[in-house]
Amino acid sequence: MANALQQIMRQRLDRQGWSYGDVARRGGIPRSTVHHLATTDRLVRMPQPGTLEGLAKGLELPLDTVRRAAAEACGIHLYPAAEEAPESHPDPEVDLLIASVQRLSADDRRHVAALVESLLERGPKAE
């Protein structure tokens, strides 16, 4: 089973039709680094901050998303500190979604990711 970093990389590459070279050029990092991160099942250590920044830029994803996926690929689970949370009160729906998505099949997770991207791209609902 692919680790979290491999999953987000594969989703972006497949969805956008990008190659490792495309991501590397946009992110200013070596193609070999992109390939290594996309194909290594378990990272031995956390990638350097500059590598994560380049990968995030190349994948057109938020740095925090890439950082968390890389940490999980190393066996480290990061949780936002209270001051980093978007709201001062935890949202139980968000907690439920996060906990539940890990129980979905890889195919179902891809469908959920596509739905979320679609919802985010359409912007705020007009009320």
Q: Sign of torsion, CA 41 43 67 19?
A: negative
Q: Sign of torsion, CA 107 113 114 116?
A: positive
pLDDT cut 70: percent of the chain above it: 76
Q: What is the pLDDT of residue 33?
A: 96
Hey, what domains does the chain have and what are their CATH numbers?
1-78 (1.10.260.40), 82-127 (no CATH)
Which stretch of 9-18, 31-40, 59-68, 77-86 has the lowest confidence by average pLDDT?
77-86
Rounded Cα gap, residues 9 and 16, in angstroms: 11
Predicted confidence band of residue 88 (pLDDT cuts 50, 70, 90)? very low
